[in-house]
Structure 1
Amino acid sequence: MFLKSSRGSLLAAALFLPLTAAVAGGEHAAARADSHAPIGVMGDHVHKAGEFMASYRYMRMEMSGNRIGRKEVSPEFIVQNVPNRFDGPGTLRVVPTEMTMEMHMLGVMYGWTDTVTLMAMLPVVANTMQHLTFQGMSGTDRLGTFETSSEGIGDIGLFALFRLHDDGHQLLVGRMGLRAPTGSVDETAQVLTPMNTRPTLRMPYPMQLGSGTYAVTPALTWRRYLGAASIGAQYDGVLQLGRNDEGYTLGDQHALGAWAAYGWAPWVSTSLRARASSRESIQGLDRRIMAPIQTANPDFQGGDRIEAGVGVNLLGVDGPLRHHRLAMEMLWPFYQDLNGPQMEADYTLTVGYQYAW
């Protein structure tokens, strides 16, 4: 799957590079809005020894509708054609229709040396999912709808960033990090069953707040300044370590992205970015997550996605706003090949604030 995603991201990068190839090269200034990547890119820069930076990001992903592979499918198609993996009806009887995933990310960075920066991230996660329940053991009679939600601390991340190369024109930053299993994996909610009962059950995997396992998070970021413009690319990975206490491990993730930015003035830049990502299905099984719904099936997780969008960075360059940074980015998917049935993404919004001293 990652090979397909990588080809898509490289194609996107090839489309972006000509936009800036004609711009004359030049040294980058310290105070320019595009000295940071688009706000949706994590761990793209380092700090000098003794410097701090505090940050806050709000990320929101909206999902609606379902698809199997690249084909969009209706709830009625799912309950008529997709087998139920567990004991009970022969096909799935509950279909998720909408989901909102929100994350409030608090971060701090510290320049340990001129070449090594330490970073910590604390996520607060809030998930909401809408469901449609079909009546009985078969058929397409709709029984009703219900909503589930979960909220709390996610998996904390600790990282080290390395300035591998910086000559004023090009910057290369490596990252190695560890995510700790601080997010809950036993969240419950009341559901509407096909038999019109409302028990409280453990929610399926997408509604849990964490992974339950440690994970290694390598990344490599490259950026080049070209006069008033800049281009960049990043590989970002999440590699899970072992199975959690519930008997499963989330799938590894890989992403490859590229962007082009232009500084209209030292205090403002805009960007275009494309990102291809691939996530494997879940390995193992939580025996308390066994229901006639697609999100309870470990095989119906992950897939490939290519998305593109726009961003803006605003930087305070003097006065009381100096070193304050405000940024926004919106990405929309234009290719999704999902291990379905699975809900498809509509958009991802990231808004962030950063302050360095």
Structure 2
Amino acid sequence: MKKYILALAYTLMFSGLSFAQNEPVQNDNILWTSGRPDGHAPISVMGDHVHHKGEWMFSYRFMYMNMQHINSGTHEISAGTVLENYMVSPEEMSMKMHMLGAMYAPSSNLTLMAMANVVSNEMDLIPRMGEDFRTESSGFGDIKLSGLYSLFNRNRQSMHAQLGISLPTGSIDEKDVTPASAPNEMFLPYPMQIGSGTFDGEAGLTYLAQGNFLSFGSQLKGLIRFGENDNGYRFGNRYQLNNWIAGKLTNSLSISARVEGLIIEEIEGTQPGLNPMMVPAANTANSGGKYINSGLGVNMVIPSGSLSGLRFAMEYEFPLYQDLNGLQLKNNNNIIFGVQYALH
């Protein structure tokens, strides 16, 4: 069933691209515009558009991510199977993220972007012996700075490149008390850390096209980790391809469908304070994988009046395919809400 859903999603997207490119227009020099409700990508996609000289945009996003049950590769396995080799098995993990962003265009070709976030993690675990327990971590995450450079904008099509850096402002020393460590705290596994601890480079390329009622977007991104952090490891590189199609229902409302392909490499190095036989998340062999995710979203913009430029957006994301390295909690769903306000 998932293969059929994926095939349908891609068919719709490439049909949308063809329609957006071939839909008749009165003037071939009409520019692509971000002013329409479908002029912004689904709210989960970052760095999707550029601004005109002198424009500002401020944004707030809230993301909730939920992971449940254990996968070995593409197959779900029981906690009992995990406990044959580990002292503790994860049962569920959730992440809540509040993200603030700002964009400013000092010129018609260049848009600068900054993003900061606060993260809260919770993981429920099942021990081989004793009662179930929960660990928690929270704090400020890594700050991201980027430049978006417009390559062209004509015939209702545009393309821009992105180059940025992630600063290691998030903690990699998160600890909590567990039944095995009480009353002392112990280092939490890699997924429970707030930041990467490394300077990470990000590069991307985004293509956009608009018709009278449909729009299409495609974004290719890579996140490359440099060196290793102070705890002796680095998270895996990330390679991401997003494709989406959106339909303009009214001058203020649009809906969207998105398909994402994601590759995450394994963690390199080890944190000396973690016992890799305690829980799968503390073993770097259980990190990284290949994912195909889908999302359904809504974008709403206030086109005129005193609140012109104010946007509200929501997207529900769910997995179509997951091939995880080793033993990991599998993604269940993500929900993202956002508010954006542009000043002209």
Match of 2:297 in 1: 311
TM-score by length of 2: 0.92
Q: Residue 99 of structure 2 aligns to a residue in which SS?
A: strand
TM-score by length of 1: 0.89
Match of 1:63 in 2: 67
Spell out, residue by residue over 1:227-248, the C-alpha distance to the aligned partner (whole angstroms, 9 max, x if none): 2110111112110011011100
* Cα distance between partner residues in 1 of 2:86 and 2:61: 37
| Paired residues for 1:276-287 under 5 Å | 276-287=261-272
CA contact (8 A) 1:12 1:258 kept: no
Q: Which amino acid aligns with 1:56?
A: Y
With 220-229 and 25-34 compared, the bigger mean Cα shift is at 25-34
CA contact (8 A) 2:34 2:49 kept: no
The unaligned stretches of length 5 or more in structure 2 are none
Quote how far apart the aligned CAs of 1:18 are. Answer: 2.0
Are 1:270 and 2:242 counterparts?
no
Spell out, residue by residue over 1:205-249, the C-alpha distance to the aligned partner (whole angstroms, 9 max, x if none): 000000000000111111111221101111121100110111001
CA contact (8 A) 1:25 1:225 kept: no
Quote how far apart the aligned CAs of 1:199 are. Answer: 3.8
Q: Residue 249 of structure 2 aligns to a residue in which SS?
A: strand
Same amino acid, percent of matched pairs: 37
Q: Which amino acid aligns with 1:289?
A: L
* Cα distance between partner residues in 1 of 2:8 and 2:251: 30
Match of 2:221 in 1: 236
The unaligned stretches of length 5 or more in structure 1 are 1-7, 81-90, 136-142
| Paired residues for 1:203-214 under 5 Å | 203-214=188-199
Q: Which amino acid aligns with 1:13?
A: Y
Quote how far apart the aligned CAs of 1:20 are. Answer: 5.6
Q: Which amino acid aligns with 1:237?
A: G
Give the RMSD, CA atoms, in angstroms: 1.8
Match of 1:101 in 2: 95
Are 1:174 and 2:161 counterparts?
yes
With 123-132 and 198-207 compared, the bigger mean Cα shift is at 198-207
| Paired residues for 1:194-233 under 5 Å | 199-233=184-218
CA contact (8 A) 2:51 2:105 kept: yes
Aligned residues: 331
* Cα distance between partner residues in 2 of 1:205 and 1:345: 16
* Cα distance between partner residues in 1 of 2:69 and 2:34: 45
* Cα distance between partner residues in 2 of 1:208 and 1:281: 16
CA 30–75 in structure 1, closer or farther in 2 if over 3 Å, else same: closer
Spell out, residue by residue over 1:239-283, the C-alpha distance to the aligned partner (whole angstroms, 9 max, x if none): 001101110010000111101101011111100000010101100
CA contact (8 A) 1:13 1:259 kept: no
Are 1:148 and 2:135 counterparts?
yes
* Cα distance between partner residues in 2 of 1:21 and 1:158: 34
- Pick the aligned partner of 1:42 from 10, 34, 46: 46
Spell out, residue by residue over 1:148-177, the C-alpha distance to the aligned partner (whole angstroms, 9 max, x if none): 111111010000001111014101011000
* Cα distance between partner residues in 2 of 1:222 and 1:315: 22
Match of 2:120 in 1: 126
